[in-house]
Amino acid sequence: MTQTIALAGKGGVGKTTTAGMVIKYLAQNQSGAILGIDADPSSNLNMVLGLDLDWTVGEIREDMLVQVKNSLAAGGAAMGSLQGGMSKREYLDYEIRSSVSEGERFDLIAMGRSEGPGCYCAVNHNLREVVDSISKNYRYVVIDNEAGMEHLSRRTTRDVNHLLVVTDPTQRGLVAAERIAGFRDEMDIHIENAYLILNRLNGEMPAALQERIDEMDIPLLGVIPADAALLEFEFSGRPLVELGDESQVYQAVATMMSKIL
C-alpha cells in the first residue's frame, strides 16, 4: 500500500531540501520504489535529487490545450478528443508517464507552471486521476507542495499519511506554519498525521520559540540544525542527496522519519 508524505510551509523555509532528505532516507532504509512529486511551480526538486527535468505536467497541460484549440479551429476533433481520435485523458496519461524523470531508487514528476487564463477544472480532474494512477505503482510518494496547502487537493485525491509543515526558527515562521497547518481540516483529502519541523536552527532552542511551539496545535517532530556543509552543496549546485550520511541535516531528518515510519 502506498504511503504519502506531503511537505508544506511558506516560501524559503527549506521544504525542498527537507523533501530531498526524506527521499534519501527512504531510498536507503525502506524497500520499494519512491516517487517524488514537485508541486512547486519553481520546480527545483530535480536539482536536489540530481535528476534531469525535460518536461513538466504544466507544460503538457498547456500544450494539450493548444492542440485542442487548433483542432477545433480547423473544424476537426470534438471537444473531448485531439487529432487522431486520442482522448484528452489518453494524451495526458501517455505524456505524463513519458515525462517521469527516472533514478535508480526514486523517480520524479514535476507539476510545473500554474494555470493560465480560462477554465481548467476538467483538465485538472484528468491530471489528478493520471498522477494518482501513476502513484499506485510506488511504495512511497513524497509531495513537495507549494507555499500553502490550498492546492494540495488539486494535485491528488489520495489520503496523506504524514504532513510535514516546515518552518524557519522565527516567530513569523511559526505563525505562518500554524496557519498552514490549520488548513488541514478544510481539505478535500484526509490527512492522517501532521507534524511541525523546525529548520535551520543555530544552537539551542530559544525559550521564546519553545514556548510558542508548545502552544501550537501541531506537535514538533524534530529540529534540523543549520549546516555549513549543506551550504557548500548549494553554492556548487551538487545534488543534496549526495550529502554524506554523517550530515547533520540528513541525520536529523533520518531520526524524524524513523519515528513515524
Q: Regarding beta strands 101-102 and 220-225, do their DSSP bridges make them parallel or antiparallel, or are they unpaired?
A: unpaired
Residue 93 contacts residue 133 (beta carbons within 8 Å): yes
Q: Regarding beta strands 3-8 and 140-144, do their DSSP bridges make them parallel or antiparallel, or are they unpaired?
A: parallel
Which helix (H) or strand (E) segment holds residue 250: the answer is helix 248-260
Query: pTM, whole model, 2 decimals?
Result: 0.92
For residues 156 and 167, what is the distance between their CA atoms, to the nearest angstrom?
23
Q: In this structure, how many other beta carbons lie within 10 angstroms of the beta carbon of residue 251?
A: 18
Sheet holding 140-144: strands in order across? 101-102, 106-110, 34-38, 140-144, 3-8, 160-167, 191-201, 220-225
User: Residue 207: pLDDT above 70?
Assistant: yes
- 218-255 pLDDT, tens digit per residue, is 999 999 999 999 989 989 999 999 999 999 999 999 99
CA 227 to chain centre: 23
CA distances to 216, 225, 257 from 252, rounded to whole Å, are: 21, 8, 9
For residues 207 and 210, what is the distance between their CA atoms, to the nearest angstrom?
5
Nearest one of 37, 48, 35, 161 to 107, comparing CA atoms: 35
Residue 101 contacts residue 108 (beta carbons within 8 Å): yes
- 138-168 pLDDT, tens digit per residue, is 999 999 998 777 667 766 767 899 999 999 9
Domain 3-53+101-115+137-260 has CATH 3.40.50.300: yes
- 15-24 pLDDT, tens digit per residue, is 999 999 999 9
pLDDT score, position 114: 67
Domain segments of the chain: what residues? 3-53+101-115+137-260
> Angle CA(23)–CA(24)–CA(28) in degrees, nearest 5?
115
For residues 251 and 159, what is the distance between their CA atoms, to the nearest angstrom?
27
CA distances to 169, 195, 199, 206 from 209, rounded to whole Å, are: 7, 16, 12, 5
